[in-house]
Amino acid sequence: MRSIKCALLLSACLLFSASAWSAAASEPAPDFTLKKLDGKNLKLSELTGNVVLINFWASWCGPCVKEMPLLNKIHKKYEPLGFTVLGVNVEQDSDNARAFLASNGVDFPILLDSKNLVTQQYDVIAMPTTVLVDRDGKIRFVHKGYKSGDEAQYRKMVKELVRE
């Protein structure tokens, strides 16, 4: 009996500690328009023809902060191939995000979703959440959470999508 309890407990720990990947059924990515940090609007549908990684993040989220420089490296490497990262900050007040970005600059657009409208459209329930959209505007992969090493899976999936 004790070994069964231990096995169940171990299974639960592994289940809840791991980040989660899921392949989406190629459903259309909900279109949205959000303001960038510079105040200009960016509309997702304007990026049709590109592979887009949408990353929902917050400055108070440790895993989000840890993965940001890794996303920047992926963005730099694959941008010439028609790829971009969109960082969607979900905080009501963007001051903390601005402070984080001032000391940890990124080369991809940061969008502000202070009312969490886009966050709700994408059913974001965990931070960070990453959504990969193909060149046709269809969601291909969704990833909830982040642990060290997930960036290798990001690279693999991005590489596959930019080749399509």
Q: Give the residue extent of every domain in the chain.
A: 19-163
Among residues 37, 74, 80, which one has the least CA distance to residue 53? 74
- Backbone φ/ψ region at 38: left (φ over 0), alpha (ψ -120 to 50), beta: alpha
Q: Distance between alpha carbon 87 and the CA centroid of its chain, in Å?
A: 7
pLDDT (0 to 100) of residue 25: 57
pLDDT for 96-121, tens place per residue? Answer: 999 999 988 899 999 999 999 999 99
pLDDT (0 to 100) of residue 104: 87
Tokens 């979900």 found at:
90
Query: In this structure, which topology does domain 19-163 adopt according to CATH?
Result: Glutaredoxin (3.40.30)
Q: Rounded to an integer, what distance in angstroms lies between the CA atom of residue 138 and that of residue 71?
A: 20
Q: Which residues of the chain have pLDDT under 70?
A: 1-25
Is residue 144 within 8 A of residue 129, CB to CB? The reply is yes
